[in-house]
Structure 1
Amino acid sequence: MPDQTAIEEDAPASELPVTLDMPGKVADFLRAADLEPAERAALDHGMAVRRGQGYTLRVSAAPAVHRQLLARCLPLDGAQGVPVVPAQRKARREYENRVDALAADARH
């Protein structure tokens, strides 16, 4: 374990794992998608937190993985001929706001 800690300390700050809450509707969509191994691992290791009628998936991953996951859920916005479901669109935008906040924090 000491070797792993040393590697993490040497990693650029922007690539250290960051924990974000992903709406359950986004997580459900992504679980059915064809994901890269790092993306699949991030989802698989996420912790589900009950929120009212739904849930939130607490996902720890590098910012780049969060951006890749966000890009994969663009169809929820009605792109590529997929019918728009307002609740899914809202969930995707909430996740987008959280991912965008990472980029804003990195600039400051």
Structure 2
Amino acid sequence: MPEHAAVGHEDAPTPELPVTLDMPGKVADFLRATELEPAERAALDHGVTVRRGQGYTLRVSATPALHRQLLARCQPLDGTQRVPEVPAQRKARREYKNRVDTLPATAGP
């Protein structure tokens, strides 16, 4: 009987494991001021602040998919009609994007 129980789980996707990335403080500050999903808010709230000179970095542990969601939410930092472009914020978003881009791609259907 035990061999029959394992058969149904072979097609189940493996859950993504959390990955820790450093998020620039300017990105974290922007995200904290926006509407976030509960999982996104929890990831930011559980992040560890690391002081860097005048600013800081937030060390965030989350699944790669959640990091991608957070990155998508900070898209306005690149400048839009509603939000003027600020070079330091744009650079901070680009740094976070470069870190997120190193994560493995999620398996899709």
TM-score (norm 2): 0.82
1:36 aligns with 2:13: no
Quote the offset at 1:81 in angstroms: 2.6
The 5-angstrom pairing of residues 78-93 of structure 1 reads: 78-93=79-94
The residue that corresponds to 1:55 in the other structure is: 56
Task: Name the CA distance, whole Å, in 2 between partners of 1:75 and 1:36.
Answer: 17
Quote the offset at 1:41 in angstroms: 0.3
CA RMSD of aligned residues (A): 1.9
Task: Name the CA distance, whole Å, in 2 between partners of 1:38 and 1:11.
Answer: 20
Q: Secondary structure at the match of 1:95?
A: helix
Consecutive unaligned residues of structure 1, counting only runs of 5 or more, are 1-9
Task: Name the CA distance, whole Å, in 1 between partners of 2:54 and 2:21.
Answer: 20
Paired AA for residue 54 in structure 1: G
Q: Secondary structure at the match of 1:91?
A: helix
The residue that corresponds to 1:71 in the other structure is: 72
Larger Rg: 2
| Greater fraction of residues in helix | 1
Task: Name the CA distance, whole Å, in 2 between partners of 1:101 and 1:94.
Answer: 11
Quote the offset at 1:12 in angstroms: 2.6
Quote the offset at 1:80 in angstroms: 4.4
Per-residue displacement from partner, 1:56-108 (whole Å, max 9, x unpaired)? 0000000110000000000000034310000000000000000000036x79x
The residue that corresponds to 1:98 in the other structure is: 99
Q: Secondary structure at the match of 2:23?
A: strand
Task: Name the CA distance, whole Å, in 2 between partners of 1:94 and 1:51.
Answer: 15
Structure 1 runs, 4 residues or longer, greater than 4 Å off: none
Consecutive unaligned residues of structure 2, counting only runs of 5 or more, are 1-11
Percent of aligned positions that are identical: 80
Paired AA for residue 14 in structure 2: P
The residue that corresponds to 2:14 in the other structure is: 12
